[in-house]
Each structure stands twice: as structure tokens, then as C-alpha cells.
Structure 1
């Protein structure tokens, strides 16, 4: 029977009595001459017996030494030893779920298998998202679902669960098992850990859905389903022990576990594991890893693949030297999780085939968590969909022992209808949720995916839409209802409740789905006014906070265009159809939704808008002359790319200074700044830069870190609302200026500048690293002048600053750190760069830099030789000042924000020392502080002991090097805003009390 006939015959519903457990394992391919695995643990045992030296190659963030190997043999030993401990301590009860929460791959994999080995059901919790309220709501749900379960995590990640109280928390780093005991436990009688064998149809793993239609549901998998899935995938994909897999998805996702890890284990293959942020921050790194690691099998969603292909083409068009890629080993790069645009897949396939990959390596797939990830594979490659003129790729036919039917609402076979499935890889139900399970299975036992599809003439499935109102953004499912609720719960003045609708539309520009928000302003006031623009801005912010994506359109409509059904519901599908049909175009024109002023007044302003598009992928069509640049979510590297693009495009004789660039709040301002660069006179040094000139609350002053600038804060300050924002700027960064040589000179200059801009208090200051020390010293001086300081804070700042820094900092190291911070080189490039630079005389290092970098790298990073020299001089000066610094005296208040682990390249030995010794030293420099202030984070203190604490410690997300970047900025800004508002409230209350 041909492939196409098989697919068409799946329209027959007579097989509706097939169940997952009724399909015999005998239909599966034998992978070894030994017994076929029947449980997860026997799958691992098979890998140990056949390929003990193969396993996982794990790269951790910010680690220079490359990969750390966890072989299958080592994994077996660790898992079985840990299983003994878990059973002995009562953490695991065989057959019961145990929740796992880890931020890294090694611990996720180790403890997943440890729970499996102990006979428990590992329940892998995704990263916690949203604000504290939404996180607690999700944790409430999980605690109830599993009845106050054990949760295994690390001490550094345990705070949300300790505070919540709904979990029995077990921290793995509190276990002290001698290394020789691992081997001892691994050889113990199998009764300690091999409780799954012979129970193929029992639940062995639980993964969570994305929560797109309400609270996350817990998907149950049996041993039989996961083993069957793994063996079917490795057989039909023809993978072998010498093929290399690549995983860059968090381990809680079904792609990571079902599609990659277990399939690699079934073949005895090695698998490279890369943290997701490494590719999202640098898409070209994806192609390099595929080539260098000889990857045969991996995953990429459509939106990422589009961006990575665009980055490659942009680099080639700009004549950037690219590595000699070799993709000869690549067999399958599967794309799923969202709609796959044929043009995107074809462009990626062309790139890959140019460097040796087969034409059909790019494989469109279809599946869900409930189907053990991918169930359908398009083996023909994008060329088939191009030939058929499909806008979106077809996804092929299901894997053997699984069947498809397409039916209407009466369960009658149709050519286009609901996609429903049965077979060996389909889950049995959701844990402790009979209602949700019943709702997704039909009366005759088929799983209803909630998607709509059809079969083409060759029997390939084509997904044409979703029956459920769910947005799929960057591969993540987002509930329209929850997004709308989040917007309306933001208490936006002028937003009419109950008339907000959200849906997604396809964007050819981004090759992905984008969010559209329709809303009704109070009184149907849809005219283009500042009042309406303010509402649109706040809706933008609410959407970004909820789903980390800026909507492509926020459109105000009168109520007459937002009709409700008889039961009071808006029809998103009808509104979407009306928008796409152009029925709302008149409102877009009258509103000019994302426009903050007049249209462009000059051709140069239009040219500037295209630089935004080229350098930052922000469409020129969405920009206007007076759109606030701060609303675009640009980080420090983005500003540098923008600055470099402007200087190149207009051939500026004198580069824009960083203060000039950052003083530009609109494109109109940039236009004026270009004219200013033609003037010959020097701009006098000004120690204070105004980033925002208005606000009703206490102004916030950002203090410079050791590099002297304030680019570190470019993602943070726009998220500090309703305040004037000031930034201190070191002398010497611009041409003709001399750096500060003493701390006294620097502090005197800064205090004078602050008083000029804000003559009286109360004052609020914050800085990162050495900037937190500057905030402390300035607060002391201001208080000595009789002023009040309501807020003084540091991020990863400690009083003994210089005691944690290695002394061997010279011009070469400073240069390398500057190049890394601006994106000119990667962290992994630093050792080689320093080695090349070692023989170069100090007075020649700057002019030699371009010879060691890719062509144009300095300019793309916004650096020139003169600018680079200034930056090195300022950084060296700051380090010399810091080397003589010893904290003394005290301020009235201090808030210390810290990351869980110490910064790299310091002498701090571990996380505990960083938190309790180095951060704890602040108690000696805050009036009235005590040991209690540093014994607990402020959030962990009992509510009756929080009031008026002079010293407060707050743990923040990320690591030192990325705490203020876009990856962690939402969490950081939320924590800083809460701390700042609380200090102001207490100051105001105390002022009223004593006045």
C-alpha cells in the first residue's frame, strides 16, 4: 500500500475502537538483539549496555570550558544512587507524582531519571512566568492538582515555593552523597529503583500544557507510550548511534523529552544541549553549532528559523566573513509548534543545501504534548509545498500505529474538518482532571486536537486553522481570553471593559503570527488625541508584560463595530475576518494607531526610519517622527547598532556621542542631532543626562558602573513609570575630555550636577555593580548636606567591591570586556583574543584591534578607534579609583538587589558566600541595620517584621552579566518598582507622622 493511500484511508472511522494500549509492541522495530525495552528505565539500561560512553554534552550559560559530558553510564549511576536517597527520605512514593523545577539541563535530566528510577512519576514544571500574582495563581493550581506534593529543586530556585507554602520542598544541593556511594547504590538490588518493569501501561511521566485555555493541564504518559514513541521515531527517522542530536528547548517541553532526549537514548546517540538564550540572542550561533557539532537531528520553530536565515543572509549581503559551514551530517531539522510558512522553510532549506545538507532536511511536523510531540512528518521537504503552491507547509502522514480522521461536528468523515487522532502515541488523559479529559475525547474515543485540517490529493495533512481561540506566538500557546483579561485587569483609564478582543494574524515581515488588539475607548472617543494614544501605549505595555511580544496593531473601534452575541460574547473570528477584509481600514487611517505625531517631514527622517528597520527589525511603517523611541523596547546593543547605522548611512564626519544619541527621544530628535554633528565646537561635559524629563513621583538617578556609561540601564529605565529619569555620565568618554582621577573629584562633580538638575530632595539613586557603590557614596554626601534620600540601591553591588575583583586587570582585559559588552566579540572569543593581543605593545593595541575582528565588527558595535581609546581610559581610571576604595560610613536606607550566583571572574567561592558574607556586609553601612536584615530576603520576612527595615535584600533573576538585559528585564523592573514605591510610601507616611 502506498503512502498516499494509507493517509486517505485514515478517513475511515471504522477503526474507532483502537486504543493506545491495544497496539502491540511487536509492531515496533527491534533496535537491538537483546530484549526490547518496555519501560523508561529499561530504555536507559539499553543505552548503558550498548553505548555507555555516549550521552549528553551540556553547555551551561557563561561557562568558557565548552561542554560537560553526562554519559548514559554516569546518568544510570547518579539516578540509581539518588533513587535510594529519595526513597530513604520519603520524597518519592512509588506510583506518585513528584514535581521537578530546575533551571539547567544537567539537574533536570539527572533528577528526572532519579525519580523514574525510584518508581515515582517525574512531573516537570515549566519556567515560572508573569508577575507574582499570576505565578502564585499557577502554583495554587499545581499544589491543589497534586495535593501538596513534594517538589525537588535547588536552594537558589526554591524561594517561590518556600514562600507559597503549597509544596514540600526538597533541595538537591542539601544532599551530601560521597562519590564512591554512587557506584555502590547503582549496583544495589533492583528493588530500590526498577519499579516500572512489567507495568508498561502505568503512568511514568507528567508534562504540563502551556495553559493556553486556562490553568495548565497535566498530560499523563505511560511507559508504553514514551517507549513506543521513541522507537518509532528513531526507526522512521533512520537515526543511529553515531548521529548527533541537538536540544535547545527547556527540558519541561515535550520536544525536549519526547522528540529529542528519549529518541537519542533509544538510538544510543550523543545529544548536545544548548541553553535557549544562546541562539535567541545570536541566531548565527545556531548555524555554527549545527556545523561544528555535526548535528544530524534538531528542532527550530518557524519564527526562529526565519530570523536565523535572515541573519545569515544579512551577514552575507554585508560581506561579513562567515564560517565555512558543513551541514553534511544533518538529516532532520524539524519545524513545528506554530504555522510553518513554505517560503521560510524553503529559504532555510536552500541555505542548508548550499552547505551540504540534503534537500529534504527541513521537515514540517505536526503534533502536541498529548501526542508525544511530533506525530506527522513531511518527508518531502519544502519543495513539495512549493510545487503545490501552498502558503503554509503540509505536515505529511502519521507515524505507524497511529491513525487520523477528519470529521465534521457530527463525527462524519469530511475532506476539511476537525483533526482527530487515535493510536499508540496518544495520551490517555490529564492527571486529576476528568472534566478536561472528557472534553478533548469524542464519544467514540478519538482525541480531538482542536485544530482544523484537510487532506491534499497525495494524502498529506494540511493544517488550516484552529477551532479553539488560542494564539500561537513564537511556538507558545497563549489564551486569547487570558490576554484580554490581563489587559482589562491593568486598570487602564478610558478602556471600556468587556469590549477587548485579541487574535493573531500572519505577518509576512516576521514570518510568524503577530498579536492584534481591538478595544473600545470610553464614550466611543476614537479621534486621534493624546488621551487615546496614552490608552494605546498602556495596552501595548500590558500585552508585552503578558506574552513578551509587542502587538503589531492596537486599534480603537466604536461599539457598533464590536457587536456581541446574545450571550454577551465578542466573535474574535468575525472581527479577524473583518480586519483582514479591510473593513476597519478607515479607523486605522483616522487613528494612525502607532503614530505619535505628524507624518515624516523630510526624506532624511524617512531614511532614519529604514535604519530602524534594517538594524532592529522594527518596520518603518510603524514609526513616525514623534514616536517615543523608549516605547520600542531597544536594549543597549540595539542603541549601539542604531547609532552605527546612522553614522554609516549619513557618512558623519564626527560620530554621534552616546549622550547625544540617548538624548534623542524621537526620530525628529535624531534628525536634529545629525545636523549638530557638523558643528566644530566641542560639546561641554555635562555630568547628568536627562533620559525622561517629566513624572509625578520622585526622580530616579542612575549611577554609572565601572565602564562609566549608562547603556546598562537602557532596557530598565523605560520600565520605571511616572518619574523623571536622570543618568550620571563619566567624564572622558567624549573627545577632548579627561577622565576622573580621584573619587573626590568624581563625587563633587556628580553632586553639583545632581543639585543643578534637582535642587532639593527627596532623592532616589540606583546603580549596578560599582554604580551601586556610587549611589551609596552620593547618598551619604546628600544626607550630609541635610537632604533626604528616600531610596538608595545597588544591583550586584557589595561594600567590599574591590575585594571580589581579580587584580590582574590591564588595558587588554578592559578592551576585551568592552568589545564583549558591545557585541563585537563573544564571551568564548575572549581567551583567543587576549592571546593574539599579548605580544602587541600597549600603545599599539587599539590600532591593532580591527585586524583581529571580522570586517566591520567595530563599526557595527558603534565603536571607532578614538571612541574605543576613550572608553579604555575611562574604564582604567574607574578601576584605579575602585582599587583604593574602602567603604566607610552609613546611609539611612539601602536596597541591595542581587543575583543568585556571584559574578564571573571574581574571587567569591560560592552562592552562599555571595549572599550571606559579601551582600551581608551592607549591615555595617546602613544606620539601624541588624543581622536580621541580612538573614532573610525582604520578600521572605514575615509581614509584621517588614515595616521600615533600613536595609533590604532582594533576589533578582538571571546572572550578573544579563540581569539588566531584555531576557530578565521584566522581572527586574517589577522588583525595582515595588521596592521604590514601598520606600516612597513609608517616607511619606513617616513624614506626615512627624510633621
Structure 2
């Protein structure tokens, strides 16, 4: 056996220090999870805290004893549910840490077997298939969820769904007040404790059976390997349906009796600097961070001046270890991240890359000497270190024989107490996952070096990991095939992962056989564009390369199966380079040949500007090329507008609305020619003009502008997308006099543009109120409004409107435009209210980011007009009271502004829920990432659009 990989079993207490020995003794005495919870509550009573990234929002704290008590109460409620027996599987489906933890333990103490449910996919057909599979696999489980998540189960017949609100109401009313019974104590060490799904939330997921003694062995191994102790503070931010959160953080901390803290993933993943704030403020010592997250954190810190980081007063001396896994860690990322973290006080080697699976209760190997060891060995990707105590590893060749020599790659196999023994109700999956002598086949390729350190070399299993998220190639293959693209030969599409040199994550490669030859430029161009859009829609990323090759180069077996590993190996060996190069050149020439060339000097100047700003050859740009095709951001849009004014020496700046109305080179040039002519106000901005599905109308927020929707427009390509822009931005335009004028104006322009329904309309913030009133006008006109959306606005708004005088409107606009920070906005508000409007504006302009002002081409005069417009809009709503009703409403809720709600719960339960009074069916609530002003920012727009498009589909649109 190679060094460092021997199965050592549980370490005896005498081999550990005093604290660890005490913990190990207590842990080894426990027979099951219930006894681990009871022991932790009795001897330690450590807190489990649920925090918000915004420290002004109070945290919720649940001590271990309180958790135990509440779980006992809830266990009896579960036992009273009709048709629940001791063999019933309980599927736990929530979207927050608190409910997941409480109801997980309620199920365990009740003596039932819980299964943790991940978030569902947006593809409703896939979701239905997944739910039906789970219902069959778990033999009609009891599904515990919340009222607001019930609709996610698509009203499928035959499901046994019970909402926890119903159960808790029983408890509050005194029902089921009987002596508490703890059937969890009766579980044996070999009994199943928890079921964890191993293949995400699509396809036929397998359920790994995690046994009591398996979990106990894994926890003892983690403690012994990392030296964690009772005084540590654990931070978890990944959902509890992921084994890293459940075992590496929650159960690990519970077994030690350590304090544990949970925050939402969105609070951390999209803003790595908040991660540092949490560590500093809460004195975190143990947490988790995958490679993509460490890369983002390192890149942000690289951009900050060292003095800036220091002046933030981050003290990370408390930080002992960041577990890292889920995808391969690059040595360079670890070097960079740890250099920054050490500067801020963290200990050396604080990042611990590792290897773990659901089947091993998370991290089962960990490198404690990163990056020193990896630098010494000259590695590009870090070693995942030796096995934790209780696990053994080996590698085997293609012939199945064990490779006993070090440094020889083979199929990674593992064995030990912390490895699962079976998949639930799936004997076939179990049988093919083990060798004849009982070793578990991981599906990974690895080598074990002379020191016993394991290095991963790739995967034999079918999986793509992009930024730590698992995707399945067969899903994309199926989606491409189902699109029935005329340029593709059916059944010859292959998808696999590739990690280019120096890349921080894996990329997607698509190989296909073109129906019309791999040099047919017209067909290839259409196929490439379609494959790119399908990939972006399904995976959220564009393909690294799309490679067309002859069908003879994609061989099939006798049974018609394609070997993806062989195709991937041929690609990486350069076997397809020629085909890719020829196709790329053909497409390039086709685009150039079929472009309508710029003719006028104005068109040529604008085309040159396109080429310069978006790093695209002039030969590939024609007069039909659109700014939106280039993926323009709001910042780039203002910069473009300013540059057009400069290079064309215009007497007046081209209005933004003119650019948005037709953002092609031809349209912009035409708008410039017509600029001097009088023009009627038209609120309709066409963000996307084509598509077979009904249009979606978006109403501006209180600032009146539609720029906030530009990020969203990049993802809506299957339907027309129209935005409504307020009146008063352009010279000669009057502000709206009152709300009825706004409502009727927008109603008339919607009917002119889209004469017939069904209609879909949504408003962002203030715009949701307008959308509601316009929807009522459409319904009164006999039309069907099938979708009405509120983006984070309650129905009652006049109290908030009364807070917004001219100065406050200016402060809000400045923050909305990212001219100042939210904290600074709150800080200066009292001071600015002591000044005149003009002096307050001077202060805002002088303290705003000058670079951002330049990007937005904002002068004091333009800013004054914009603030006045926003104030007029809000002033019109000072006495607004909602009345009447719409057929339905979908409410998209994000972190609220500090001025309007105490926290997220208050926002939803006491504010947004009031939409029920104005909808003829219960509102559908949709959580979205980010805060009020950032929910559609570049960091959050991908998840936002997925939620929005899912809601539209569920409304039959």
C-alpha cells in the first residue's frame, strides 16, 4: 500500500490532544445522529446562527438545545401525518438554511429517513421527470416544504406534499400536544441516516445512503486530519443539499460543539469581499471556498491597492482553514489567494484543496501543505493530499489490475468506513460502483505520488464542472438534438469539458457532424449561432469551441454509442484542429461577404467605433450590426454615445432613446440625421424585436430610465422585449403631470405596438405600480394579461414616496447609478438635507466617482434634469392607494432597502404579501439573488433571467 493511503480506522483517543480526545470519546460512544445532536446539546449547546451579509439586519440564533427541543416537537407533528409510517422517506425541500436544518433534525429525531432535495431546474419537462423519478425511487415520500414553494412541484398528481406552515399551525393551536417521543434513539450504527442525491436535480438521480457509523467515521477523520476543535467558528454558505455544507460544515461543527454560522450563497458567491467581512466580523476559523470563488476573490484583491485592503480593517488572524473542492484547484490561484489572505493575517497554508464525494460524506482527502508542496513538485493543479484517517485509496489500470507503482495514473478507487455501501433502492447502480474486492469506483483518474499524495488527472465519469457547478453533457447534447437544427446530422453531437492552459475553470466543447459539410459557410454560421445560444441558455456560458467534423470521425459502437472520452482525447491531441480552423475561416468569410457595408461617412465612423470598443475586426461589422449583438453594457452604452458625439463633432448629443430605438449602425446613423427634426415622444424602447413567443413589456423604475434592463435583454431572445421609458429626458419634453397620464400613455403605446394579447408586463420597483395599473386598463379593455410581474415592490408605496424629497431622490439616483456607495448615501443624507437643492447636487457631483460620471456622460445639468424627473414621478404617487385587482401577479423579491423593511422576512411577510389583496389568485413568490438595486446587475442577471423565464413558462408564455 502506498504511503499516506492506508485505512487507519478511527484514531484512538490516546493519539489525539486532550480536546480532540474528549471529542473523539464522545463521538465514538454515540450510536447514531440523534445521539450526536443530544450529546452536543447536553455538553456544549453551541449556537447555530443564520446571518445576513448586511450586518444591520439582525441574525437569527438557534442554540443546539433549542434545535433539539424544536425537532422533538416537530417530530411528533410528522408522526401524526396521515399515511406516514416508520418506513416513509421524508423529502426535505426548502430554499434556506434555517428550515433545512430544523426539519432535517425533526425527521431524524422522529426516526424517519430524510432525503435532502436540491433546488429544481427551470426546464419544466426535466423538473417533472425528476420529481416523478424521486416519487418512484422513494416510494411516494412525504414531501415537507413551505407554502411558497408548493407550486414548484407543478401540481403533479400522486405526490404527498405537506407544508410546514400547516404543521406549525397545528402546534400553535394545541393540536398534537402529547409527550414527545424520540424514535431516532433506536437507530443502529449500520442504519441509514440521511439520503443525499448525487447527480444534481436533473435526470435519474441516485440517492447515496449515508449510514450513522459512516458519518461518524467521516467526522472523526476530518477532526483528526485538520485539528478542528470546539473553539472554532464554522461558516457555511452552500446549500445544505450539498454534502460539503451538510457534512464538512454543519455536522462537523455539531460533533465538536462548535459555533456555526450560515449565510445565503448569493450573499457571498456574487460578492467575495463580503466573505472577508463575514470572516472578520464573526471571527470565522473554518469555511469553504471552491476554486472559482478563490479566483474571483483573488482577482478582486489584485485590483485593490494594498492600502485599501488594510484600511478596511480586515483581520483574518482567526482563519485556520478554507476547505476547497468541487473542481480542480490551480496552483497559481492558491498562491495568489493565500498571499492576499496571509497579508490580512490568515495563517500560512490556509487553503486546503481536497477531494470528496457525496459517497464519502464530503472531504475525504486534503492537502495541508498547499501551495508549498505543489510548487516543490512543479504542479499546475494542486494535489488533493493524503487520505483522512479511515480512508484508503488506490489506482487501477484499464485491465482492472491495481497499480502498485507511484506516479502512474489510473482509475481512482477508495475504501473505508466513511465510504457508502449502497445507493437507495438501486441495486444495479450499487453493483457497478464497486470492484469485486469491495473498493468504490470514484469515476476519477488519479495518481498517487511517492509521498502518498493523490493528484487528480481527469474524470472517467461524464461531468462538466464550470465555476464549481456540475453540468451533464448529455443534457446539452439532448437539447441540441431536440432543436432539430437543419445544419446538424442527427445523433452525432458530442459535448465534453476542456480546461485551457491557465484557465480558472473548465470550458464546454461541442463536436458535431454538419449536415452540409464542414465548409458550408451559410449552414455552419446558422448552426454555430444556434448551438451557442442553446449552450448559454442551458449552462449559462458560451462554448469554448464548436467543432464540425465528418461523421466518420465520430465513430459509433455496434449499439450506436459514441465514446465521448475518445472524442475528447482526439480533440485535446489536436486531431480536430484543422477542421475547426477551416470552419472558423469559412464562417468569418461568410459574415464578411454577406455584410451590408457602411456607405456614408457617418456609418463608417460608427462602424470604426464598434470595432474599437468591442475589439471586433472592421471586416466583420456591417450596417445591420447591433450594439445589443455586441453584448453592450449600460456603461459601454454611455461611453459609445459620448464617443459618437466626439468623433462626429455633433452640435448636440444624440439622445439615448434614439440609440435604443434602433441600435444598429444604420439606425444610429439615421437617428443622427433626423436629430434636428422635431420628434414626438415615444416611450417604447425595443430591446429585442423578434421571437415567436408573446412580447414581454418592462416598465422603468422610479428614475424613469430603462438602462437597468440592458443586462436582461442579453438573455431574452425568444420573444420581443419592450421597455417603457419616462417622458422628460429629452429637450422639449414635458414631465408627466400625474399618474393617470402615465397609465393611459403607456396603455395606448402598448396597444399600438401589440394590438392583441395575451399580454405580459412587469415593472421594476416603482414601475411595478405602473405595470399593475396598466394591466387593469388592459383587462378593462377586454384583453388577457397572463403575466404581471413586480420586481421587488409592494402594493402600498405612498409612505415610501413621502420619504423621497428632491434631495433624497438625488441620493437614491446617485446610488442607483453607482456614483456613490449605499453606506455613503445613508451617511450623507442628514447633511445634504440641510443644504439647498443646488448645493446638495454640487456635493453629490463632487463626491461621485468621476470616472463613473465620465462613463455616463453626466453633467450637472443632466443630473439635475434626471433628479427632477425622478422626483416628479415619485411626487405623483404621494397619495397613491392601490385598488381593484389583476388576474394574477408574480412577485420577484430581493434584499430590500434598509428604509423599507427590517429584514427579508419582514419584507416578504408584511409588505410584499399584501399583493394578495389585489390579485384574483394567490401571488406567486420568486426569490432572486442580490439586493434591490443589484438584482439585475451583471453579477445577478443570469439567475434573475432564469427565474423570470421560468415564471413566464409557468404562466403559459
* TM norm structure 1: 0.81
Where in structure 2 are the equivalents of 1:37-76 lying within 5 Å? 37-38=29-30, 39-52=32-45, 54-60=46-52, 64-76=56-68
Where in structure 2 are the equivalents of 1:323-472 lying within 5 Å? 323-408=312-397, 409-414=399-404, 415-472=408-465
Aligned to 2:710: 714
Distance 1:193 1:279, change over 3 A: same
Report whether the alignment pairs 1:131 with 2:123.
yes
- The answer on whether the counterparts of 1:801 and 1:882 sit within 8 Å (CA) in structure 2 is no
- The answer on whether the counterparts of 2:77 and 2:171 sit within 8 Å (CA) in structure 1 is no
CA distance in 2, matches of 1:584, 1:125: 41
Where in structure 2 are the equivalents of 1:602-617 lying within 5 Å? none
Distance 1:98 1:775, change over 3 A: closer
Distance 1:827 1:436, change over 3 A: farther
Q: More deviation in 836-845 or 322-331?
A: 836-845
Deviation at 1:228, TM superposition (A): 2.3
Q: Structure 1 stretches of 5 or more lacking a match? A: 614-619, 923-933, 937-952, 982-995
Deviation at 1:325, TM superposition (A): 2.5
- The answer on whether the counterparts of 1:521 and 1:558 sit within 8 Å (CA) in structure 2 is yes
Given candidates 958, 967, 970, the residue that maps to 2:928 is 958
Report whether the alignment pairs 1:144 with 2:123.
no
Deviation at 1:726, TM superposition (A): 3.4
Deviation at 1:479, TM superposition (A): 2.3
Post-superposition CA distance 1:410-453 (Å, at most 9, x none): 23324321111111211121111111111111111011101111
- The answer on whether the counterparts of 1:700 and 1:724 sit within 8 Å (CA) in structure 2 is yes
Deviation at 1:344, TM superposition (A): 1.4
CA distance in 1, matches of 2:258, 2:883: 58
Aligned to 1:159: 151
Distance 1:178 1:503, change over 3 A: closer
Given candidates 86, 106, 109, the residue that maps to 1:117 is 109
CA distance in 2, matches of 1:569, 1:650: 58
Distance 1:935 1:979, change over 3 A: closer
CA distance in 2, matches of 1:269, 1:680: 71
Given candidates 275, 279, 290, the residue that maps to 1:301 is 290
SS in 2 for 1:468: coil
Q: Structure 2 stretches of 5 or more lacking a match? A: 599-603
Aligned to 2:874: 879
CA distance in 2, matches of 1:306, 1:559: 39
SS in 1 for 2:185: coil
Distance 1:23 1:326, change over 3 A: closer
Distance 1:604 1:485, change over 3 A: same
Given candidates 909, 915, 921, the residue that maps to 1:918 is 915
CA distance in 1, matches of 2:328, 2:667: 38
Q: How many residues align?
A: 920
CA distance in 1, matches of 2:300, 2:653: 26
Given candidates 206, 211, 216, the residue that maps to 1:227 is 216
Distance 1:295 1:650, change over 3 A: farther
SS in 1 for 2:451: coil
SS in 2 for 1:578: helix
- The answer on whether the counterparts of 1:957 and 1:963 sit within 8 Å (CA) in structure 2 is no
Given candidates 691, 697, 704, the residue that maps to 2:700 is 704
Report whether the alignment pairs 1:740 with 2:736.
yes
- The answer on whether the counterparts of 2:608 and 2:618 sit within 8 Å (CA) in structure 1 is no
Report whether the alignment pairs 1:573 with 2:565.
yes
Aligned to 1:926: none
CA distance in 1, matches of 2:365, 2:153: 38
- The answer on whether the counterparts of 2:607 and 2:618 sit within 8 Å (CA) in structure 1 is no
Post-superposition CA distance 1:450-492 (Å, at most 9, x none): 1111122322111101112221222233222232112212343
Aligned to 1:30: 21
Where in structure 2 are the equivalents of 1:825-864 lying within 5 Å? 831-832=826-827, 834=829, 837=832, 839-849=834-844
Q: More deviation in 813-822 or 103-112?
A: 813-822
Post-superposition CA distance 1:664-711 (Å, at most 9, x none): 756x689979x979x999998543323234456766544334331223
- The answer on whether the counterparts of 1:526 and 1:558 sit within 8 Å (CA) in structure 2 is no
Where in structure 2 are the equivalents of 1:936-975 lying within 5 Å? 956-958=926-928, 961=932, 965-975=941-951
CA distance in 2, matches of 1:50, 1:861: 59
Report whether the alignment pairs 1:77 with 2:74.
no
Report whether the alignment pairs 1:87 with 2:79.
yes
- The answer on whether the counterparts of 1:719 and 1:973 sit within 8 Å (CA) in structure 2 is no
Report whether the alignment pairs 1:101 with 2:71.
no
Distance 1:753 1:482, change over 3 A: closer
CA distance in 2, matches of 1:509, 1:665: 36
Q: More deviation in 697-706 or 113-122?
A: 697-706
SS in 2 for 1:524: coil
Distance 1:83 1:761, change over 3 A: closer
Distance 1:201 1:695, change over 3 A: closer
Deviation at 1:72, TM superposition (A): 1.7
Q: More deviation in 787-796 or 562-571?
A: 787-796
Post-superposition CA distance 1:98-153 (Å, at most 9, x none): 11011111111111111112122221100111311111100011100111111111
CA distance in 2, matches of 1:167, 1:367: 33
CA distance in 2, matches of 1:510, 1:839: 52
CA distance in 1, matches of 2:452, 2:367: 11
SS in 1 for 2:499: strand
CA distance in 1, matches of 2:158, 2:15: 44
Post-superposition CA distance 1:922-969 (Å, at most 9, x none): 5xxxxxxxxxxx246xxxxxxxxxxxxxxxx76545389477643231
SS in 2 for 1:78: helix
SS in 1 for 2:803: coil
CA distance in 1, matches of 2:155, 2:145: 14
Post-superposition CA distance 1:595-621 (Å, at most 9, x none): 6944999999798778669xxxxxx79
CA distance in 2, matches of 1:894, 1:419: 57
- The answer on whether the counterparts of 1:349 and 1:359 sit within 8 Å (CA) in structure 2 is yes
Q: More deviation in 329-338 or 278-287?
A: 278-287
- The answer on whether the counterparts of 2:795 and 2:912 sit within 8 Å (CA) in structure 1 is no
Aligned to 2:467: 474
CA distance in 1, matches of 2:565, 2:641: 42
CA distance in 2, matches of 1:622, 1:473: 32
SS in 2 for 1:442: coil
Deviation at 1:40, TM superposition (A): 1.8
- The answer on whether the counterparts of 1:700 and 1:766 sit within 8 Å (CA) in structure 2 is yes
CA distance in 2, matches of 1:296, 1:909: 31
Deviation at 1:303, TM superposition (A): 1.5
CA distance in 1, matches of 2:2, 2:571: 40
Given candidates 781, 788, 796, the residue that maps to 1:794 is 788
SS in 2 for 1:126: coil
CA distance in 1, matches of 2:772, 2:136: 45
Q: More deviation in 372-381 or 955-964?
A: 955-964
Aligned to 1:283: 272
Deviation at 1:577, TM superposition (A): 3.1
Q: More deviation in 340-349 or 684-693?
A: 684-693
Aligned to 1:496: 489
